[in-house]
Amino acid sequence: MAMSEDKNPPLSEEVEFDAVDLEKQPKRVRKAEAKPPTRKKSTPAKKTFSKVEKNIARGTKKKLLPLPFEVAKKKPFKGRKMVKPDFKGIEKKDPRKRNFSRKPTFNPEMTEKACSGKEGPFLLQVFQAATIDPNFTQGFHHYPGRIPLQMAKLLLEHFGQKGRLFDPFMGSGTILLEGLLAGMKVAGNDLNPIASVITRERCRWLSLRNARRVWTEVEELRQGIEKENLGKHRVHHLHAESLQNLYPPHLLVEMLHWMERINQLPDPAVRESLRAVFSSLIYRFTPEEDAVRRQSRVGRGQFGRAMGERTKELIEAQTELSDHIRLIENPQLSQEDILKLEHDPPLEADLILTRPPFPGNGKQMLSQKLLLKWLNLPIKPFEEGQLGIGTDFQKKNWTPRFRKLMLNLRRASVSGGRCIMLFEDWLDRGKKVDALNFVRRFSGSEGWKMTASASRPLQHYPRGEEDFGRTGKQEHLVLLRC
Identify the structural domains of the chain with CATH numbers, from first to last: 112-192+332-368+382-481 (3.40.50.150), 208-324 (no CATH)
Distance CA 458, CA 476 (A): 10
What is d(CA 246, CA 248) in angstroms, rounded to the nearest whole number? 7
Split at pLDDT 50, 70, 90, the class of 387 is: confident
Of 49-58, 188-197, 223-232, which gets the smallest average pLDDT? 49-58
Rounded to an integer, the average pLDDT of 121-140 is: 92
* Percent of the chain at pLDDT exceeding 90: 52
pLDDT at 353 over 60: yes
287 pLDDT higher than 90: no
Asked if 367 contacts 155 with a C-beta cutoff of 8 angstroms, the reply is: no
Question: Which residues have CB under 8 Å from 251's CB, separation 6+?
Answer: 285, 296, 298, 303
**In this predicted structure, what is the pLDDT of residue 72?**
55
Q: What is the pLDDT of residue 14?
A: 46
68-94 pLDDT tens trace:
887 655 444 333 333 333 323 323 334
Instruction: Characterize the bridge pairing of strands 449-457 and 426-428.
Output: unpaired
Amino acid letter, residue 413: S
Q: What is the pLDDT, as a whole number, of residue 367?
A: 78
Per-residue model confidence (pLDDT) at position 92: 36
How many Å apart are CA 209 and CA 465, to the nearest integer? 56
pLDDT of res. 294: 55
Residue 123 · residue 477 · CB < 8 Å: yes
Query: Does residue 103 register a pLDDT over 60?
Result: no
11 vs 400, more confident? 400
Lowest-confidence region among 229-233, 257-261, 278-282: 229-233
Question: Phi/psi of residue 416, each to 5°?
Answer: 85, 10
Label each residue of 200-234 as H, E or C: HHHCCCCCHHHHHHHHHHHHHHHHHHHHCCHHHCC
Q: What is the dihedral of CA 37, 41, 42, 47, to 10 degrees?
A: 140
Higher pLDDT, 169 or 54: 169
Lowest mean pLDDT of 183-197, 369-383, 389-403, name the range: 389-403
Q: What is the pLDDT of residue 110?
A: 44
